[in-house]
Every structure is written in C-alpha cells, then in structure tokens.
Chain A
Amino acid sequence: MRLFLRLLFRNRLAGFGAVVLGIIVVLALLTPVLPLHPPNATNTANRFLRPFADGHLLGTDHLGRDLLSRLMWGTRLSLAVGFAAALVAGLAGAAIGVMAGYFGGRTDNVTMRGVDMLMAFPYILLALAIVAVLGPGLLNALIAVAVVNIPFFARNIRGVSVGIAHREFIDAARLAGMGHTRIILTEVVPNIVPVVVIAMSTTIGWMILETAGLSFLGLGSQPPQADLGSMLGEARSALITAPHTSIVPGVMILLIVMSVNLLGDGIRDALDPRLRSGALARPMAATRVERVRVPAPSGEGLLRIEALETQFHIGPRTYRAVNKVSLDLKPGECLGLIGESGSGKSVTALSVMGLVASPPGVITGGAVRLEGQDLIGAPYEVLRTLRGRKVAYIFQDPLSTLHPLYRIGDQLIEAIRVHEPVSHSAAHARAVKLLEDVRIPNAPARIRAFPHELSGGMRQRVGIAMALANDPDIIIADEPTTALDVTVQAQILALLDDLRRSRGLAILFITHDFGVVGQLCDRVAVMYGGRIVETGPTADILSAPAHPYTRRLIACVPELGGGRRILAAIPGLPPAVDDLPQGCAFAPRCDKAQDACRMGEIDLQGTARQVRCLFPEGAP
C-alpha cells in the first residue's frame, strides 16, 4: 500500500489530481455543516447578483438562490451519483465479465454477443431511451448511466478472466475439490480486482459527465434539487446576460473530471505491474556505461571480454549480475558459456553489444574489444553498424524474436538492407539463399510464411538465417535449443556446427546443458554467481572438472543409458547476486569449503585451464 502511494505521487499530475479531488470531496462531505444559505431558498429581489456580492460569494441565480450553496450541494449530489454509477457498472460488468471469461464456450458467446448489441447503440441515445422508459429522475439517470457503461467493464474483465481461467492454479483449485462458485470468488476475483479498480478510476469522470448531461437535458435531477448538470441547464437561458451562473458549475465539472482523470491515470500506472518497474521510461538504445577506468588490452583475439562488470540498480539494491568476467574468442572457435539460471551468462552475452536494458542495467567496468576496438562506451552509431554485421545474436524463443505481423521473408530482407544498400530483388534472392543455407525445405515458398505458420524448429532456423544475413564474424547464441524438442535440437546443433565450419564463424554458445556443450564446443567457461569459476578445453573439463561446482553439476546431469538410479544433487540454492557471500560464492553449498574459502577474493588460477578455487579437485 505504501509502495502504491509512493508510485502514485511520483507522478506529479496524479498527485495534483488527488489533491484537487480530495479538497472537492472533503468540501462536499462537509457541505451540510458549513454555514451556507439554504440551497433552495428563493429571493427573486436578489436575482442574478454578481459574484462577491454581499452575503453571496458567488452571486445568485435566476431565482435569487445562493450559487455557492447550490454549487456545494450540487457537487455533493453529482459526485455521489457518479461514484454510485461507477460502482454499479463496475460490479455488474465485472460479474458478467467473470462469468463469461471463466465458463467460456457457449455462456461466453451468448453473453458477450448481448453485450456487443448493447454497445452498438450510441451511448447517449441508449441512456435517453432508458430514462424515457423509466421516467425522469436522478435515480433513473443513475441506472441509465450505469447500464450504458456495463459493456465496457464486461468486455475488459472478460478478457482478463479468460487469461486467468486457463492458468494452472485454477486447475489446481479444481483438483483440490473446490466448486465453481468458490473458485470464482477466491481464485479469480482477487486477481481481477486491480483491473476493476483501474477501469473504474478511468471511467468515473465520464460517468459524472454523462449524469450531468442527462440532468442538463432535464432528465436527471428535478427542480428545485440542484446538481451540476441541472444548474447548467437552468443557467443556459441567461448565458449572455449572467454568464457567471453557467461558469460556476462549468468550472466545477471541469475541475472534478480533470482531477478524476489525472488521478485515474496515476492509479492505473501505479497498479499496472508492467508499468510499475519503471518501464514507463523506454529502455535506452544502448546500455548505460559508468566506467571508472578502462582496463588495458590484455592480448589479441577476435573478441575479448575483459573484466566485464554489469550491474542492475533496482531501488536501493545492486545486483552484480556479471562480476569481472573475462573471455576470449578466436576466429572459427566455439566457446561454451555454461551456468544455471541467474548465473549471469545471458547478461554477459547481452553486454557485448550493449543490449542490456537500461534502466536498470549499468555496465560499471571492464572492456569488450572486437578486433581491438572497445565496444563499451562506443557511440550508439558505431554499435548499430556492428550489431548484426559483425556480431549477431540468436535467442532462445524464436516466436518472440520474430515479428508476428510480418512475413519471415520481409524480416530477412529488412535485416539485409539495414546494413547493405542492395535492391529489394537482390535482397530477396539473398533471403531465399539464406533459408536454403539453414536447410528450410521449399525456401522460395516458405519465405512468404508468417512466423506462426512455422514449427518451433523451423522458426529457430529462420532466427539463425537472420543472424547470418550480414555474414557476421561472431554469433552469440543464447540457449538457442532450450525451447526445442530433442530431435529438433539435434538438427539445429548439427546445422550450427556445419555453418561454423563452412563459414569460419566464431560462436559464443550459452547453455545450461553439458551434453550440448560436449558435442559442440571447443572450450567451455562455467559461470556461478556472476563469475567464471572454471574455464578450459571442453574435453578436459568434462573428463576432469577442477572446480567442485563443475564436478557436482556434471554429476547432477542424468545421462541416457544409466538406468534407474538415485541422482546426485547439490543441496541449497544458487546465491542471490544482490547479496553475495564474501569469498567463494559456492562455499555455502560446497562440501570441501574451509574457513579460507569464506575470507577474501579468490582469483582465477592457471593459463589455458583456469579455476577459481583454493582446493581444486585432483590437487593433493
């Protein structure tokens, strides 16, 4: 709740709206005890007094009634009707939406078509028709406004409920023996409350306006009762001669609706989880760099990552996702980067081309040298010409990396033409050739396919074709086969291996799977808690791991052909990178850990084969 308020008031306009609305609401609540004239006491001798007249701060209307008093009582009524209508519409709409979304099928179809029909009428016409049937009066106007707004809520809530009804925890609740009513009330409703609140807060202003509109037409509050709409209606005939009688209620409507809408926007932003994490600010085009000093070049190589440090600054916490990581990649080499989730392997890969989202990501140290040129802190223009041309990425989920609305051919052609000014037809021919290179059958026809028309394996082939589009020197593949089935995974790995040999590509292959590393990579680096704990030739590491973590991780991986058995496990959990222990990050889970392991920094030792451990395996 405190977080919500802080987020709300971080938005200045929403805070302003909250203050204005707060003052209005307090005044409206206090109206009966304020020393005001009776709102309906007429005094025709004093009609159309100007504002600041004696005893009448805002003047009087055509019957000599005190405008300030009528304004306060009218505001009170309009607010009450507006809120009540929003509440009724919100509750009724939510009930319909939840039913339709949860039960789905025919229930959904029939209710939502009914709601669609209601929506097909212009809202004011529908409201007029309802009031015409029920007769004029404030309560009937309230009913009309509420009914007119039910479809909006019903549609919104139904969309959310459909998503929730298919979540696994609903299945779990059914298996726990809960009935439909109980599931709706205890499982679905708590998850849609924020949506109802958001929808209400953004429509309440509308409802106040609509009620005022009906009253203005004489269908809402009946004389002598004042509400803002009827005050405007009565003032209409004296618009020229006594403009203040219209301006006073007009300004009040403006203030109410404006403050309600500003506040509503603020509430929506503060409650929406996507907007909460500061995503309102678009990520920058390249990761923010705050480097104190640049390390000196440590050697030659196609790509050298040197003492790279990438952190995430979220609130008061600092997550050291990548902590002094050094790697190098030679032409035509395949380097495996292996680690569990949260070990920092993907962030390392994304840091190379400045693709870590900022905020919250910051590169705080180290260098990434591509053929000697430092990419950290390089101008965006430089990074952009290198992205895709020198260093290309392949991501885990091809469905989310390909644009769903464009044909794969158009996306490939775009990727080619961004870097090279070739004609459309030449690019098209290249795109077909690329699809053939990644062994997509019937490439000239498939090039017109949309991403959803392809299977997961085919989509990943398209992802690889896109990475190859500009003949890069380096491909960074971030778990490219994790989302695929084993038979398809084998095809994709074989394809990557062929491409590497035929084109002399260097590959940085990120994975959590030792089997994949063993089949594809020349060298491997093992990451744990944001640091490299061991690196060396793949065969050596797999046959004789030196770091206890590597040894035990390999032991955890079940291999086919081992039969039924108890598997080795590592007790405990990987460390959180915002609260790393002193010394070795693996010490709390390590059975060989001694006091020295928990004391200070432990360096990577060795040359071709490096290990960050005081008591490596195999040592005496």
Chain B
Amino acid sequence: MTLALKTTELAKTFDIGKRLIGPPRAQVRAVHPVSLDVQQGETLGIVGESGCGKSTLARMLVGLLPPTSGRIEIEGRALDRADPAAFGRLIQYVFQDPVSSLNPRKTIRQIMEAPLRQLHGLRGPALDARIAELFDAVNLRPEFLSRYPHEFSGGQAQRIGIARALAASPRILILDEPVSALDVSVQAQVLNLLADLKQRMNLTYLFISHDLAVVEAVSDRIAVLYFGAVVETGPAQKVFAAPRHPYTKLLADSAPVVGRPLGGAQSGELPDPLNPPAGCAFAGRCPRASDLCRREIPVLGAVEGDQFAACHHPIPH
C-alpha cells in the first residue's frame, strides 16, 4: 500500500476583524493541527457537524486556502504552496451545491473544457474526444454539452461537477457533501456512480459528510471532527458500532433510525470559537467528563489496534 495523501500537523487560524495595519482583533482556530494518512485507493470518511472545520480542512487540501502551518504531501510530493493549479492535476474537489458550482453564464462544454485546456493543454479533436469519454463515464448524454447549468436537475448537475473534477485526471477526489443537496432516490445514483468510478480509475476519496449512514456506506476508514480537531479515527464499521469517543457515540445515537425511540434530548452546544475552553472542547456536553478533561486537551492516541481517540476517558468495550 502506498500513501496517497499525508498531512502533518496541518492547521488553519483565521483572523477576525482585520485592520488596515496592525494585528487583527482576534483569531479563531478553525482547524487544530491535523495529521492524517490516506492510503492509495482508500475512502476516508470525514464526519462532523457544521462549524467543525471539515470544509476548511478540505479547502486546504486542494490548495484553495493556504494553511497557517503544517505540510501536505500527495503521493510523496510536498505541496504546501497554496496554488490550485499545481494541486489540480493531483487532487480535485466536488462541491456540495452542484448548481452553484457551475457558472450560470457558461455552457457545459465551456465548463468542461477549462480544466482540459488549462491543466492538460488539450486542443481540437483530442479535447472533444476526452469530453465525450468523461461524459460517458458519468452516464450523461452528449447533447447536454450545449446547454446551460440552470437547465439541469441537482443529480445531473452533480454528475457534471464530478465529470469536471475527473477531467483533470486527479489521483484524489475530495467530495464535500456531494449528495446532501440531492433527493434520496437520486443520492444513491450518485453514490453508486462514485463507487464505480473509483474502482475503474483507481481513485482515492476523501468523503466529507454530516450524514453518518451515507459515510458508513461508502468509507473504509472514518475520521470524526469536533470543534476543529480530529477526535476519533478508525475503520468504518468499528467507529460507529463501537465508538470510543463520547462525541462519536452521541453522533451515532442521534441519527434517526426507524424503530428506535427518540433519544438524545440532551442539550448542549458547540463552545464559542472566540473563547475556546481550556481543556477538551466536548467536556461541556460529555457525560464522562472529569476535572482532567476541563484542564487538559486530550491528544489523539491509540485506544485499541487501529482505532484512535482523543479522549482522557475513552468508552471501554
């Protein structure tokens, strides 16, 4: 197994209230130092609620956002300079909202041509042949090429988004909530297409979602993010069946499942990012929290085998 993607202590801090000169008024740590390894051909699911930093992490990985510190390596090559064009041939991004990720004033052909011309210098018949090949791969009809984005349904637009990402012939795809804007019956079509493409093109996926069931269905491994930090990682079936971090357990218990009584009435909210707590960010909502948790930030450590959790008191099994 070779390593497709490796991040070392990758972190992002945003300045709040920038001034023309002088330091900003405050700083928010959107992503705490994250170290992740993703194997070639693997799907890593990234789970977390809104505001947990998963999109910030994803945008750093494709070079849309310069990291504050840390390193990104793709297939052994270091890419720390935030230059999407350099990243583009190795790693691509599929956006959450399929329609707003397509320029409303361009035809689908113009949208598809951009990465092929810019990143691979294709022209003329080679360009047309490649577009036809890509459209075939995502099961879209070639006559769609002359239309404009608003003429497509969400599912079709998301296929176009996937085709555009594949046009760069990347090794890794970052899928940022690729199906959360779609209806259930269409969601499965897109997920199955993604699984099929992955196998055929030997891709590596980072699948970001807030929907645990979807993540579980597509992922080999899962990383759970809370308040900008990875709190648990491990093989997909283990993480949700036997969660070690109390937050993962809360997530798993909150997912609506037919036949399970309504639970999770426990209140609690994310801490204020401008005024983070001293210890574990989850301590305020955690039934297992002790004084140690409110004092010291736990570090990610192996709990058992390949399952890691950042918790002072991991749930035993």
Contact = CB atoms under 8 A, between A and B. Distances in A.
B184 interface: yes
Interface string A494-531: 11010000000000000011111011100000000000
Nearest to A342: B183
A175 interface: yes
A109 interface: yes
A328 to B, nearest CB: 24
A437 to B, nearest CB: 14
Contact of B255 (A168, A186, A515): A515
Contact of A168 (B95, B240, B253): B95
A564 interface: yes
Nearest to A482: B180
A93 to B, nearest CB: 21
Interface stretch (A388-396, A466-474, A550-558): A550-558
Contacts of A601: none
Contact of B103 (A191, A557, A559): A191
B216 A519 contact: no
B185 A171 contact: no
Contact of B191 (A174, A439, A491, A567): A567
B129 interface: no
B307 interface: no
B218 A560 contact: no
B300 interface: no
B269 A168 contact: no
Contact of A485 (B49, B106, B119): B49
Contact of B264 (A186, A487, A570): A487
B236 interface: yes
B104 A191 contact: yes
B184 A487 contact: no
Given A177-B88, A491-B267, A567 B192 contact: yes
Nearest to A455: B269
A316 to B, nearest CB: 18
A561 interface: yes
B266 A491 contact: yes
B50 A456 contact: yes
Interface stretch (B27-35, B207-215, B287-295): B207-215
B84 A490 contact: no
Contact of A574 (B164, B185, B189, B212): B185
A2 interface: no
B299 interface: no
B258 A176 contact: no
B100 A169 contact: yes
B114 interface: yes
A109 B20 contact: yes
Contacts of A520: 262
Contacts of B84: 171, 174-175, 177
Interface string A161-190: 000000111011111111100100011001
Contacts of B192: 566-567, 569
A296 interface: no
Interface in B110-134: 114-115, 118-119
Nearest to A458: B269
Contacts of B74: none
A486 B216 CA distance: 15
B184 to A, nearest CB: 5
A565 interface: yes
Most chain A CB within a 10 A radius of its CB, from B84, B191, B261? B84
Contacts of B262: 490, 493-494, 497, 519-520
30 contacts: A167-B100, A168-B95, A171-B95, A175-B63, A175-B88, A175-B168, A176-B88, A176-B114, A176-B167, A191-B104, A340-B185, A341-B154, A485-B50, A486-B256, A489-B256, A491-B265, A491-B266, A512-B184, A514-B258, A516-B256, A518-B256, A519-B257, A519-B258, A556-B188, A558-B188, A558-B213, A563-B237, A564-B218, A567-B188, A570-B186
Interface of B: 18, 20, 49-50, 59, 62-64, 84-85, 87-89, 92-93, 95-97, 100-106, 114-115, 118-119, 153-156, 161, 164-165, 167-168, 183-189, 191-192, 195, 210-214, 216-220, 236-237, 240-241, 250-267, 269-270
Given A105-B18, A439-B267, A560-B216, 17 more contacts: A109-B20, A110-B20, A168-B95, A168-B96, A169-B103, A172-B95, A174-B84, A456-B50, A490-B254, A491-B267, A518-B259, A542-B259, A552-B185, A556-B184, A556-B188, A558-B217, A563-B217
